[in-house]
Copies of this chain bind each other. A is one copy, B any other.
Amino acid sequence: MPAQTSHKPPQRGLRADARENRDRILRAAREAFATQGIDVPVAAIARRAGVGVATLYRRFPTRDALVTEAFAEQLGHCVSVLDEGLADPDPWRGFCTVVERVCLMQAADRGFTQAFLTEFPDQADFARERSRAEEGLALLIRRAKEAGALRQDFEPGDVTLLLLANCGVTSGAGEEAATASRRLAAYLLHAFRADAAAPLPRPARLGLERIHA
């Protein structure tokens, strides 16, 4: 079989106007989701993009498909943030950076946050990205522990915990979202430090996939 050309198949072979419209729809969707939340009617997105609803549905057969595609970019961004964190010679600093950046991404995009909280289209693409993210994260955590910076009883599910917590904060805090998110991250990162160790209750069994349960 031919090497699968990235995960954006339906771009090639489209007529010029169709491709243009497809881009406008995606841009409009991202804007709408970010500002109005993930529940904006499809019609509103179409209007914002300057196309008819039928055009939108021709490219994205269902609402979920559009949501998925619209957030693929953000998801990719998350992964690259993680890569940067892994590249940092100081694993603790790398870990902190990842957490802070992702939290701020959530704070800046209401739709992205909601997508985390509510059930989400579990497309195949996402599963792949997610498992990559899980591996990278586990590696970063292991390194940070070995460096003696991250507490020993920390575990990967605690990252999910933090992300969910941040979802709540960013959904609820309105315009203060970014400030609140920063403060939450600071508090939690502080509690995660090894030198802050004090007994913890047993961990929740939260994988990254649990997020969309």
Interface residues of A (CB under 8 A from B): 116-117, 158, 161, 164-169, 171-174, 176, 179-180, 182-184, 186-188, 190-192, 196, 198, 200-206, 210-211, 213
Contact = CB atoms under 8 A, between A and B. Distances in A.
Contacts of A168: 117, 164-169, 171
B117 A171 contact: yes
A117 B192 CA distance: 26
Given A117-B168, A161-B169, A191-B188, A200 B183 contact: yes
A183 B158 contact: yes
Contacts of A117: 168, 171-172
A176 B213 CA distance: 10
A87 B157 CA distance: 36
Number of copies: 2
A181 to B, nearest CB: 8
Nearest to A195: B196
The 8 A-B pairs at the shortest CB distance, nearest first, are namely: A168-B168, A180-B204, A165-B165, A167-B168, A164-B172, A174-B213, A191-B191, A187-B191
Contacts of A166: 165, 168
Given A165-B165, A169-B164, A200 B180 contact: no
B196 A179 contact: no
A180 B206 contact: yes
Given A174-B213, A210-B174, A203 B179 contact: yes
A173 B164 contact: yes
Given A188-B191, A204-B183, A210 B173 contact: yes
A202 B183 CA distance: 7
B186 A200 contact: yes
A198 B193 CA distance: 11
A211 B172 contact: yes
